[in-house]
Amino acid sequence: MLRRINMSKQGQRAFAFSNAKQLFRRRLFSHWREQSAIIRTAADWTVLLYILIPGGLLGGRLYYGFWNEALPAWSVNLPFMLIPSLLVLLICNGGLVLLLQEGDLLFLRQRQRWMNTILFRGLLYSLIVTSLKFCVAFALLLPFLIRGFEMTSSEVWALFALTLACSWCVKLLGHLVKVQKQGWRRWLWLFLAISVPNAIYFRVASLWNDRPLIILLSAVVFTVVAIIAFRWRLVMRGTFMNDVREDYKQRMKIAAILLRHVLDKPRPTRHKPWIFRKSQPLLKSKTAESRFSAAAIKALVRNPAHLKLYLAFTAVSAVAILIIPSGFKWLGFVVLTSLMTFWLFSFWSLFVGDDYIGILPFTKEQKAEAGMHAVPILLLPFTMITSALICLSLYGWWGIILFVPVGYMVGLFISRIFGTFRLGKD
């Protein structure tokens, strides 16, 4: 018996942590080190100091001026509902960090009390961080709330309590949906979990001057819902892998922001494309060059990155056409069409240079002919939209007759000129 007791004591000493509180503390410090390491990869601390110190001094001076000097002229005519709108954006941002790890499936699932302790402290930590975030936000907004909108201290505290309670409610309800639902049901329930509390918050916040008591009662209701969701989260079972997945997303959020414009987002694996699913011939001609051209058209439309860039440039060009003076609209149309044509031929060069395309036995002349056929087709929607805007704005109803032949001829002419130089060199 004594030997068993000694062995059990030795086994307890063999654990790196004697209780769940120490394990959570270790993971929290590791989380902080991880986030600081991610930030250090993007900027050196020396550079940050040169930015933060002058920025802090300038910001402090501006904040002092907001309290003791006249408010800026632009803030005088701002509607009050702009403040709740900004706070709603802040409420919808962020999530919960539970500090769970994949290895807990093997080592901590047998210790349910340890799991509950880590889960409880992780939820509490996340809500504290959310509270600190809104404390900073309200500290920055205080000069405008008190001096600009002439709110009393009780009204400010009521709005702060409402905002904080609503943020807790949205964070917890959104987390419950993320770890339990999948597919379209997840997005539907997530929309309801976020939009309904925010809609109530936005409506109640508009009553700050008329019925401040309603704001406090609504804050109490949000708090009660948050407490119920908190307790529900603690007793929930069977969501461990989803918990780890969502926790990893939250911990990697800073890294995702820093790498968003550096690395391309991995494309999801599709068993079927979202468009042209039956892979029917896109062009009437059955020649090899036409099928090669159709493959390039499908490749651009099916690629989200290329399609978004095409649509974005089209939208920006449409706005530019509308604001350009009438005497320069056609010149702008030619310049914008040339830019789009240049990009489409660059896409064609990437498509032709792909390793999989290199397997196909196409000659240089066949590739050039296919490119001269594919690029005008890809350019046609752009030229039609932009020429329609020009013709309708300059010629009225006659523009309905003119924009189709004009868009087609200009697009074909410019693509032929670019193709002669680009494809002749390839």
Q: List the pLDDT tens digit at each of the 426 positions of the chain.
A: 444 444 444 444 445 566 778 787 888 888 788 877 777 666 656 556 656 666 777 778 888 888 888 877 777 777 888 888 888 888 888 788 887 777 666 666 667 787 778 888 888 988 898 899 999 999 888 888 888 888 888 888 888 999 999 999 999 898 888 888 887 888 888 888 888 888 888 888 887 766 778 888 888 999 999 999 989 988 887 777 777 787 777 777 766 665 665 555 555 554 455 454 555 555 666 676 777 777 778 878 777 778 888 888 888 888 888 888 877 888 888 888 888 888 888 888 887 777 666 666 667 777 777 778 788 888 888 888 888 888 888 887 777 877 788 888 888 888 888 877 766 544
pLDDT at 419: 77
pLDDT at 225: 92
> Which residue do the tokens 């310049």 mark?
335
Q: Where are the alpha helices (DSSP H) in 236-328?
A: 240-251, 253-259, 288-302, 304-323
Q: Are 122 and 97 in contact (CB under 8 A)?
A: yes
pLDDT at 227: 92
3-state secondary structure of 234: helix
Q: Are 100 and 247 in contact (CB under 8 A)?
A: yes
Provide the residue count of the chain: 426
pLDDT at 132: 92
Structural tokens at position 142: 């205080």
DSSP state for residue 50 in the 8-state scheme? H
Positive or negative CA dihedral for 255, 261, 263, 265? positive
pLDDT at 13: 46
Minimal CA–CA distance to 88: which of 137, 46, 126? Answer: 137
